[in-house]
Amino acid sequence: MRCIENGTLRSPLPSPIMHPKSLLGLMTAIYNPSAETASPSAIHPLEPLSADEILQAVAILKSEKNLGDRVRFISITLNEPAKDTVLHYAPGTDYEREAFAVVLDNATGGAYEAIVSLTQESVTGWQPISGAQPPIALDEFLDCEAAVKASPEFQAALHRRGITDMSLVCVDPWSAGWYKDDPASDQGLRLSRALCWVRSAPGDNQYAHPVDGLIVMVDLNSMTVLRVEDHELRPVPAEPGNYTIEMIQSDALKAGVTEVFRTDLKPIEITQPEGPSFTVEGHQVRWQKWNFRIGFNPREGLVLYTIGYEDQGRVRPIIYRASLAEMTVPYGDAGITQCRKNAFDVGEYGVGALANPLKLGCDCLGEIRYFDAVMANTRGEIFEIENAICMHEEDFGILWKHTDWRTNQVEVRRSRRLVVSFIATVGNYEYGFFWYFYQDGSIQYEVKLTGIMVTAAVLGTEKPEYGTEIMPQLYAPNHQHVFCVRLDMAIDGQQNSVYEVDTEPAPLNDQNPYGNAFYAKQTLLKTEQEAQRLVDPFKARYWKIVNPSVHNRMGYPVGYKIAPGENGLPFAHPESSIMQRAGYMDKHLWVTPYDSKERFPAGDYPNQNAGGEGLPAWTQANESIENTDLVVWYTFNHNHIPRCEDWPVMPVAYTGFMLKPVNFFDLNPAHDVPPSAAKHKCH
């Protein structure tokens, strides 16, 4: 295990103007001087690209496409092979090892999708991206902030507000979105809509001091300020909202307070003296009858593949591929600075590239197995996020228990779950993405939301209509966090169907004379449009994915159900820009026949896209989804009406869903979990 104190983009690489063939050799030697390139047939088809493979792809692209020094590599990741290749792979099997790259030419504004065969050492696919922009890359954030702060017009706007120290100014580059009233001069440009805050001193929380009414439009290709929109001179809120140890202690000393932290918290020690119960080979994980592979890419972050559970001597497939496919944050404030805030944190920014390096004892506790994420920055140089993925076991209370009151015999088993997670910082917010595997065959997906809310200024004489005042003259706007998880299902094979299950009361009649009976009503969802569904807690609704050709010993088709958790619907108007661009938010369940090209519910490139793409477009054909290779898309919505208690750093909010076996097994699969050794006497 490796623990690091902070994450840095390491760029120990030579200038990209070198000849690509020489560059590849030198890059490889510097990054890993002893590395030897493995034969593709010896690498599992779903193994993430290595540093050597990324550098190889960069060199091939630069050489074949004669790429200039103003080209950015927005992402380079594994081009996943066809399912058949993966499912029939055995060590030594030949297959095409490929990289998928998104390339942006700042000089021309052109953007391209590329497929690079690492096996053939050639570019086998090159396609322009039209009608939208690729995601905004991390180093564009830094370049954009520098360009805005260097703008004389921006500096003049700050001077009008009494702000003169540019070292204290912080600029957040927001995605520009797409609106019908955008100026014609913006068409075709790669834009950011930058907003700003100002620290009162170095280390101060800038989000306590928004510079409201000031918007800067930036051309990210040329890194030039197109215009400064100075709408309103509002006072900058002055009260501090600090949260770091250093700043809290500093503020306390100024106020004459000597003790600021609780002193009655006793240690909790989590130890596994014999080590963890999981085993890892490369990116293959085995734990408590579970078997799956871990992947990671700049856009989705953590990806899980070929999830199966060992039962009666064989591993039974459940999910082929699972990932967070999109995440949209629509803001509900009509104010001029807030009304165009609608972020696609997967499609516009890439949560994988924004992952945190995790530290033992803070983000994760216990016996940890970390996985690093190896990616390329936009110059095509390697950067590595150490400890990007955390995997560990947790005690989770009672798994099952029964007391025979006649004999006083007690049988109890404690539950243990395997946690696979990563955490991303997207500007002001932190998101933790957690997959939990349980011993009873259940799977849980949970998102933990924390960090700092976006803020705005409010005049002392008014109360915000579309948010909550959290400090004098400072408010946080209402907003939502909408997540869509893509589940490429494989319940005991590729031929699956989906049922909607509602609990219905039986009518009062001769068969139900006391009116107490109720039953589960199952409705087969036969087509894509039939499968566009909403949660209904009043009917205890869930959706069941089954294999109609495989039955358990009692004759039921084997399946797993989606058990919804917290959820809601968007409040934006159907004709609003955000609903046109993120139409997937309008339904909680979507089901489509498998298509390798259908990966993202708002389309491949939501950045500056007019909308209508993704799930709303794909499902217009209304294809059959009965007894076929299908993909289930589940959307869940965390509605955030801010509270004073959410400031300055928001306590974690939890949202997500469960996947639970429904007649997948013949009986409780956790009945064979052994009792825990007694460590403490019970009183």
Tokens of 19: 């000849």
- At residue 22, the pLDDT reads 33
Grade residue 202 by pLDDT with cuts at 50, 70 and 90.
very high
Annotated catalytic residue within 320, 429, 438, 475? 429
What are the angstrom distances between the C-alpha of 202 and each of 167, 169, 334?
Answer: 8, 10, 32
- At residue 219, the pLDDT reads 98
- At residue 679, the pLDDT reads 63
Q: pLDDT tens across 434-492, in order?
A: 999 999 999 999 999 999 999 999 988 889 999 999 999 999 999 999 999 999 999 99
CA 147 to chain centre: 29
pLDDT at 15 over 70: no
Q: Which ranges constitute the DSSP H helices of 150-224?
A: 152-159
Q: pLDDT tens across 65-122, in order?
A: 999 999 999 999 999 999 999 999 999 899 999 999 999 999 999 999 999 999 999 9
Query: Residues with Cβ < 8 Å from 633, sequence gap 6 or more?
Result: 325, 484, 485, 486, 487, 584, 589, 590, 591, 592, 601, 615
Q: Measured between alpha carbons, how far is 388 from 293 in angstroms, rounded to an integer?
A: 16
Q: pLDDT tens across 174-201, in order?
A: 999 999 999 999 999 999 999 999 999 9
Q: What is the DSSP letter of 357?
A: P
- At residue 6, the pLDDT reads 31
% of the chain exceeding 70 in pLDDT? 93
345 among known catalytic residues: yes
Q: pLDDT tens across 276-289, in order?
A: 999 999 999 999 99
- At residue 251, the pLDDT reads 83
The average confidence (pLDDT) of the chain is 92
Q: What is the DSSP letter of 678?
A: P
Query: Residues with Cβ < 8 Å from 361, sequence gap 6 or more?
Result: none
Task: Please tell me the pTM assigned to this model.
Answer: 0.93
Grade residue 33 by pLDDT with cuts at 50, 70 and 90.
very low
Grade residue 161 by pLDDT with cuts at 50, 70 and 90.
very high
- At residue 255, the pLDDT reads 82
> What number is the average pLDDT over the span 526-531?
98
- At residue 361, the pLDDT reads 65
> What number is the average pLDDT over the span 155-174?
97
Tokens of 14: 């030579």
Grade residue 27 by pLDDT with cuts at 50, 70 and 90.
very low
Q: pLDDT tens across 132-149, in order?
A: 999 999 999 999 999 999
Q: What are the structural domains of the chain?
A: 20-128 (3.10.450.40), 138-254 (3.10.450.40), 298-354+427-662 (2.70.98.20)
What are the angstrom distances between the C-alpha of 167 and each of 146, 171, 194?
Answer: 11, 11, 17
Task: Check: CB of residue 348 under 8 Å from CB of residue 137.
Answer: no
Q: Measured between alpha carbons, how far is 51 from 28 in angstroms, rounded to an integer?
A: 8
- At residue 462, the pLDDT reads 87
Query: Residues with Cβ < 8 Å from 29, sequence gap 6 or more?
Result: none
Q: pLDDT tens across 334-344, in order?
A: 999 999 999 99
Annotated catalytic residue within 204, 212, 345, 488? 345
DSSP H or E segment with residue 23: helix 20-31
Q: pLDDT tens across 368-400, in order?
A: 999 999 999 999 999 999 999 999 999 999 999
Q: pLDDT tens across 346-367, in order?
A: 999 999 999 999 976 678 888 9
Q: Would you list the DSSP string of 283-297?
A: TEEEETTEEEEEEEE
- At residue 678, the pLDDT reads 67
Q: Measured between alpha carbons, how far is 393 from 94 in angstroms, rounded to an integer?
A: 36
* Higher pLDDT among residues 409 and 31, named by residue: 409
Grade residue 129 by pLDDT with cuts at 50, 70 and 90.
very high
Burial string for 399-426 (b: 16+ CB within 10 Å, else e) reads beeeeeeeeeeeeebbbbbbbbbbbbeb
Q: pLDDT tens across 598-631, in order?
A: 999 999 999 999 999 999 999 999 999 999 999 9
% of the chain exceeding 90 in pLDDT? 87
Strand order from edge to edge, sheet including 409-426 = 369-376, 382-404, 409-426, 429-438, 443-451, 650-662, 557-564, 542-551, 497-505, 518-525
pLDDT at 3 over 90: no
429 among known catalytic residues: yes
Grade residue 507 by pLDDT with cuts at 50, 70 and 90.
very high
